[in-house]
Amino acid sequence: MVAQGVAAEPTDGATDGDGYTAIGAGIALGLAGLGAGVSQAAIGSAAVGMLAEDGSKFGVALIFTAWPESIVILGALPLFL
């Protein structure tokens, strides 16, 4: 048997490119999170070691630890643009 019918017209205004936009934004956020996690592992352990040797460098350790997290924030920008 041959199925007969009419393909439904898209009614929500979505185009073929909208799916690729969402996939691209998801890939950007996922790779930014992955890169930040990898760098956070190395930087976090180094910061703990630095604080164990000299507790007065807490501010420097905090800045270096928070820096990779800004990468995720920049990776999340395509979700909103």
The pLDDT assigned to 74 comes to: 80
Q: Is residue 21 part of a domain?
A: no
CA distances from 56 to 41, 43, 50, 66 (A): 22, 18, 10, 18
Nearest in space to 48 (alpha carbons), one of 70, 64, 35, 36: 64
Q: Is residue 7 part of a domain?
A: no
The pLDDT assigned to 21 comes to: 82
Q: Is residue 49 part of a domain?
A: yes
Q: What is the DSSP letter of 7?
A: P
Q: Is residue 5 part of a domain?
A: no
Determine the structural domain holding residue 76 and report its residue range: 43-81
The pLDDT assigned to 53 comes to: 94
- Structurally, the chain folds into a number of domains equal to 1
Determine phi and psi for 68, rounding to 5 degrees: -65, -25
Q: Is residue 60 part of a domain?
A: yes
**Predicted structure pTM score:** 0.63
Ranges of residues in the chain with a pLDDT under 50 are: none
Q: Is residue 70 part of a domain?
A: yes
